[in-house]
Amino acid sequence: MHFLSFFLLVSLAGQAIPPVTDTTEPVTDQVVVHGLIAHPFTITLDNIRHFKPQTYQNMNIVCSSGETKKVLRSFEGISLKYILDSAGITMPRPKERGKYYIAVRASDGYTTIYAWNDIYNNPTGDEVFLIFAENGRPIMEDGRFVMICRNDKITGPRHVKWVESIEVARLP
Ligand SMILES: Nc1nc2c(c(=O)[nH]1)N[C@H]1C(S)=C(S)[C@@H](COP(=O)(O)O)O[C@H]1N2
Ligand SMILES: [Mo]
């Protein structure tokens, strides 16, 4: 075999096979805010203080199976509504408000949505937080940012680990 093609083959094979030690999910260190908004931006641990984070107490992460997966004595974060207000949702036809939704996506493909009405016309709007610290420590294994909905009865499904984007979109 020609030396160069052998070299190419080896380097391509090296790319295709991830290191065996890498069993963790891809860690996301920023959250991109995009879609039908006036001011797209990216949230990082460096700029999240501009959103005036607050500390809240006591929340359990409960799976649909009924199992309590995690107990948060405290968590620190910013509200989704405040993020959206900063982004400025563009809605030229207000009668279409019911078609608008917010998709929260994680790096492993896990996704949850909130209807625009859930955030702006329901108590839920005051209960959804992008959090970056749990029990007084930065979040590590679940990515740097997690989204939670504090008033869900079953809190696991809309507890999104490894959040990488928040998109404002509209049904056709
Ligand atoms: N990105 C991402 N977030 C996720 C999941 C997931 O698979 N991917 N699983 C959900 C489920 S089913 C539950 S119950 C909670 C708690 O899961 P954990 O025990 O893996 O933390 O996280 C939720 N968040
Ligand atoms: Mo779950």
Ligand 1 pocket, 114 CB below 6 A? no
Sorted by where each starts, the structural domains of the chain and their CATH numbers stand as 26-170 (3.90.420.10)
| pLDDT for 28 | 85
The model's pTM is 0.87
CA distance 78 to 55: 9
Q: Is the dihedral of CA 41, 46, 48, 51 positive or negative?
A: negative
Ligand 1 pocket, 156 CB below 6 A? yes
Mean pLDDT along residues 44-52: 96
Which range is least confidently modeled, 23-27, 69-73, 157-161, 162-166?
23-27
pLDDT, one tens digit per residue, over 24-37 is 566 789 999 999 99
Contacts of residue 30, defined as CB under 8 A and 6 or more positions apart, other chains included, come to: 42, 43, 44, 144, 164
**Minimum-distance ligand 1 atom for the alpha carbon of 163:** 1
